[in-house]
Structure formats: C-alpha cells, structure tokens
Amino acid sequence: MAKKILIVDDDKRIVLLLASRLKANNYEIAVAYDALQAVAQAFSEKPDLILLDMKMPAGSGVSVMDDLRNSTNTALIPVIVITAYPSIEIQQKVKEMGAVGFISKPFKAEDLLPRIRKVLGE
C-alpha cells in the first residue's frame, strides 16, 4: 500500500509541485495550507509523514508540531521541516521538538526524496 504524505505549505504552488513530485514517486498525498488545516488533516488522514513549512497563517510550524505532539493520535507521525528561514535556532528548536529532518528552500528533489524514503523505512 502506498504511503501517505501530508504536505503543509501556505504557498499553493509549492504544494502543487511537491504533490506532483511525490505522486510521480508513488506516494499518496494529503494537503494543508495553514496551521489549523495541518492539524485537522493530520488527525483525519493519519499520514505516514508530514512535510511541514514553518511560516504560515493561523499559527506556525512550531505550533503545529506542538499540537501534534500533544495528541496520542498524531504524536508519532514523523515530521520533516521544509523552510525558507533555516536559522540555527529554528533548526535546534524543531530538532528538540522531534522533527526527523530539516530541509531548506530551495530544496532539490535529489536531496528530498532519499530523506523521505529513509524516514519511511523504504
């Protein structure tokens, strides 16, 4: 069965492109465009992995991670952070919160895909 990945980014073009790339690599896709949708989608879709942007409306990547960690339904979903603001502080912060990966924009598919496979144990 195909693994499901939740893409969270307020930039619809990036969501579209990531979805296209991941579908081409045989993943199932769920999407969210802000922090609240992200948490809702994580609950309802139960994805195997979340690709999470940091800066977005109705919260932030950090608040999403907080919400996910506080619920047993979503606490164990691995998160890879994809951000245009890759500061050391944010990197440390999300690492402490349990993010399994940290990728800065602009990302390259040849870096992103192996990371995803590794996290999903493929």
Partner 1 sequence: MSSMTDALIVVNPDATLRSVNRAALDMLDYKEEELIGQPVETIILQEEGQRLTCFQNIFVTGVTFNMGLTFLTKQRKRIPVNISGAAIQQEGKIIGIVGVARDMRQIRTSISEWEEKKTEIEERGKKSVRMQRAMLHIMGDLDISNKEIGKANKELQKLDQLKSDFVSTVSHELRSPLTVTREAISQVLDGVCGEINEEQKQFLFMSIEGIDRLARLIENLLDISKIESHKIDLKRELVDIVSLAKEVSSSFAFAFQSKGLVAKYNFPKDKIELYVDKDRIIQIFVNLMSNAVKFTPAGYIEISIVDKENVVECFVSDTGIGISDEDLLKVFDKFEQFGREFECAEKGTGLGLAISKGNIELHRGLIWAESKLGQGTKISFTLPKYSPRELFKEYVTNGLAKAIKAGAPLSIIVFEVKYYDTLREKSGQDKIASIVHSLGQLIKTDLRRKSDISIKDSRAILVVLPETDKKCAWATADRLKSSFDDYLSKEGLVKDVEVDSRIASFPEDAQTEEELLNGVQLQENIEK
Task: Note the residues at the interface with partner 1 (CB under 8 A).
Answer: 11, 13-14, 17-18, 20-21, 24, 84-85, 88-89, 96, 104-109
Q: Chain centroid to CA 31: how far?
A: 10
Angle of CA points 6, 111, 102, to nearest 5°: 60
Cβ–Cβ < 8 Å for 80, 50: yes
By the 8 A CB rule, do 103 and 79 touch?
Answer: no
At its nearest, how many Å lie between partner 1 and the CB of residue 105? 4
**In this complex, which beta carbon is closest to partner 1, that of residue 15 or of residue 74?**
15
18 vs 39, beta carbon nearer partner 1: 18
Q: Is the peptide bond before 78 cis (omega within 30 degrees of 0)?
A: no
Residue nearer to partner 1 on the CB measure, 43 or 85: 85
User: In whole angstroms, how close is the CB of 32 to partner 1 at the nearest point?
Assistant: 17
| Smallest gap from residue 94 Cβ to partner 1 (A) | 13
